[in-house]
Structure 1
Amino acid sequence: MLNRIVIMGRLTRDPELRRTQNGTAVTSFSVAVDRDFKSRESGEKATDFIDVVAWRQTAEFVCQYFTKGRMAVVEGRLQIRDWKDKDGNNRRSAEVVADNIYFGDSKRDSQSGGDYAPPAYGSPAESYTAPASGGFAEIEEDGELPF
């Protein structure tokens, strides 16, 4: 049987590191994941807010390097938990138990508020004037091959 999930989205809040009674590091956070399609009524993409739990070194890594709004790629398994609320009602929650978490953006992207867009393919990153020779240097032939 297979239970693998990969999601990519932005953290909805800063993760906080907690420890169990025996000292194991744990953190939980939510990731906002846009759907691939737009709603017919509103013309906007819907967003799913997916709960994630990370343990041990993965939890410490997330708390040290990720902040609210940062793009994350989460790899793990889907877990369904049954629990009782304060009124004694049975509840059920789905969450991703993370095995690996990767950066989904660059640090430069996150520092600029996510508005950074790299130059399009084929467009110069800064102004550039080509030399009159078309960018190619003349090769002088001396009759001998260099190899």
Structure 2
Amino acid sequence: MLNKVLLIGRLSGDPVIKFLPSGTAVTEFGLVWNRRYKQGEEWKEESHFFDVKAFGKLAEDLAERLSKGYQVVLEGRLTQDRWTGQDGKSYSRVRIVAESVRIIRKPKIEEVEEEDITSSDQSAERIEEELKKLEETTREEPFDEDDEIPF
């Protein structure tokens, strides 16, 4: 049997790390995948949200290195949690257990912070112009599912 998930998406929030009594790290975060499609002459977009969990060293690394807005390639497997609520009803939830995560792109805010634009000879207007140019060059085109993935 095969249980494999490959997903490219952005973190919908900061990862939350906890530790089991055994000392094993567990990190949880949400991942959002946006689907763009054309309906008639109009472009539409729908968002899909996934709960992700990671364990051990990977969990520790993700909690340290990732934050909301990071775009990642996630490889993992599906798992189903089942429980009985206080009301006596049975519940279940499917989530992704991460096995490998690679960063594709950092949030735009962090990309700007990483650039050295604090030089004393730069005016506020020049900085704003550079930020606008950066936003224009990083604006993403609609993803066509027939396009090849660039890796």
- TM-score by length of structure 1 reads 0.69
Distance 1:65 1:77, change over 3 A: same
The Cα shift of 1:86 comes to 3.3
Q: In structure 1, which of residues 100, 112, 117 is the aligned counterpart of residue 137 of structure 2?
A: 117
Aligned length: 117
Partner of 2:52: 52
State which drifts further: 108-117 or 76-85.
108-117
Q: Which has the higher strand share?
A: 2
CA contact 1:3–1:77 (8 Å) conserved in 2: yes
Partner of 2:75: 75
Query: 5+ unaligned residues in a row in structure 1: which ranges?
Result: 120-147
Distance 1:4 1:69, change over 3 A: same
Tell me the secondary structure at the aligned position of residue 137 of structure 2. coil
- TM-score by length of structure 2 reads 0.67
Distance 1:17 1:116, change over 3 A: farther
Alignment of 1:32-51 (within 5 A): 32-38=32-38, 43-51=43-51
When Rg is computed on C-alpha atoms for both structures, the one with the higher figure is 1
| CA–CA separation in structure 1 for the residues paired with 2:98 and 2:31 | 12
| CA–CA separation in structure 2 for the residues paired with 1:36 and 1:118 | 17
User: What is the identity, as a one-letter code, of the residue corresponding to 1:7?
Assistant: L
Partner of 2:30: 30
Partner of 1:14: 14
Q: Which has the higher helix share?
A: 2
Partner of 1:101: 101
CA contact 1:32–1:48 (8 Å) conserved in 2: yes
| CA–CA separation in structure 2 for the residues paired with 1:8 and 1:110 | 20
Tell me the secondary structure at the aligned position of residue 69 of structure 1. coil
